[in-house]
A and B are shown apart, each in its own frame.
Chain A
Amino acid sequence: MLVLGIESSCDETGVALYDTEQGLLAHQLHTQMAMHAEYGGVVPELASRDHIRRAIPLTEACLAEAGKQLADLDAVAYTQGPGLGGALLVGASIANALAFGLGIPVVGVHHLEGHLLSPLLAEPKPAFPFVALLVSGGHTQLMAVRGVGDYDVLGETLDDAAGEAFDKTAKLLGLDYPGGPTLSRLAESGDPARFSLPRPMLKSDDLDMSFSGLKTAVLTLVRHQEAEHGSIDPQTRNDICRAFQDAIVDVLVGKSLKALKQANMARLVVAGGVGANKQLRAALDALAAKGRFEVFYPPLALCTDNGAMIAYAGAMRLKYAQPAGGYSVKPRWDLGSLPAA
């Protein structure tokens, strides 16, 4: 079964083709990052305007990449939520109309389920059950995953998502939007011993997290340094970046280990944009090398939002495919409410 996947929930338009026999055949992505940069964040209306220009050309590019025709499609999957309402509606409208015109069914996919299952597109892929650390600019959750659609949230951030904390902290350090990846790069040249920032909730009994306080701690540190030295020199800035990243990584790693223990599982899956963070991967790989658990990541290209994970999740949910017709989107949508596939 050949499934076309369309992702348009935020600032990336992703389209992909997944075949249940042959695997991922094509995947095309357009990121709007540069467009939103001068606004200092994602502007929802501009995001929607861009999605509608990109979706069909990206679909054509996918078909060409895979050497397939529209007539070869068996279903169309699209991100139904959660995300920006207007942006979701673009993908939903195109997906439903396309499927209607082709006389094939549609599957509305939960964006986070897409992320959660994306490591299954890598080789070797994890077997169920596993603990998933879903960590991006919009989400930070730990989940027990026993099968497709069988998810329990073990813990989550009570305020900012980890990726959001990266971007906000980068902004207050004067780095251009989206500053998260830049902050990580600068942290590589930072001295881990110079500053120490708090590890919020690391020692709490639950698996919840909190990252908004770290941003404030960085602000206090910056003000202190400025008062003392007049300004922040590049090395000091790098050292602050390092202290910040160390704190986030410690919390994510600590909570992941606790989640594995609590769920009594031995496989950890990391997904979402922050899952591409080198220091996080290095820390988890080092611990996994001791043999107590295995760690899995999606292919690097599929860490950000993408169509491949939507096509894949759609393919796993073909039994829920509906005839194309009336549709709606779910800007807020609880992952726990999904039925098992």
Chain B
Amino acid sequence: MEHSRAMTWNRARVSVRAGAAVFLAAALARPAAAGATLTVELFDRENRGAVDDEPNGINIADCESHEAWNFRTSLSSVPTNAHLDVWLGSACDQRANRDGADASDCVRVYGDLTMRVGYVNFGIEAPMLVDPHAPGCAEVKTTTKVWVLILNEDADETVYDSGTYDVSIDTQRPAAPVSVTVDFGESRAIVAWEMASGTAVSEQWGFRVLCDPNPTGAAAGTDADADAEAGADDADGGGEATDADGSGEATDAGGAAGGGCTSGGAFAAGDRPIDAWYCTGQIVGSAVRVREIGGLTNGTEYHFAVVALDDYRNPSLVSPVACTVPSEVNDFWETYEAAGGRAEGGCACAIPAVGRTEGVGGLALPLAAALGRRRRPARGRGDRR
């Protein structure tokens, strides 16, 4: 019995060793799966000074300019018998989503990127991120997941390690303002607009005004935001004047000569805006509904429209167009003088001549003299020191 027990124990020890050897061989043959521990980060965007500048995602302009998004992932070691891929899609760590059997499967962007200890960089253009299956700038509002996969070189391409990065995308245009009114001033116009009720706040993050002729010249699209900060609501006029006043109101689908316009302009309602039409910077604030445009030429007909900007800074299509003709206007002083008012105003009135020291002038002079007397002793004390 004792002998028999020893034989049994030895057999057990042999099978444990064999199992360990098999496990070790398997471990050497392919790296063990380490899970989703890779860090994927965005370190550069072609259209942004900093990657965290607003907006964070991809908008129409980013997509249409094929903005490059440059990512990197960091490796602390390089596994053998594995390769590094970059995929776009949902649940790309699942083998079934990488086999291409379904149209909704993940799309491989990079296969077998060179792995090294440290950063591994790769770039993806915005249209690819917007629609991995058919790169382009279709109107979508979605999130695309970037997958970095280290895949074992086995039959099933099991995942050794993985990491993801979410790219938010909004290439949908917001709704355009539904009506635009414009009132004239002297070398200026006051443009006001309305949004449809129920428009989401995110769809009216800001606005930009379009002018034709554009008083800012060809560089209209580079108009600084400081222009917007100058006080978008500083013009408290902007009533809905009638055409007889030389002002326009456009509430329909515009047209070449609608909204009080006597001629066709560079843009019409429903056009896709271009930078050269903008005569203001971004006018930030969903509650802003009026903007004064200065630097206009009296007697010239100007066409105005407005686009809304959503929180991704996507512009809407061009709103209905309204026109006005800036004209000379009289302030109260000019009206007063034109009526024959004899007040002198300004310095001629504020500094009375000798013998005209009535009123506060008469009080101001003794006051100044008193102040002078107070100062002289002070200077005298200073001199004595």
The reply to whether chain A is a binding partner of chain B is: no
Residues of B within 8 A of A (CB): none
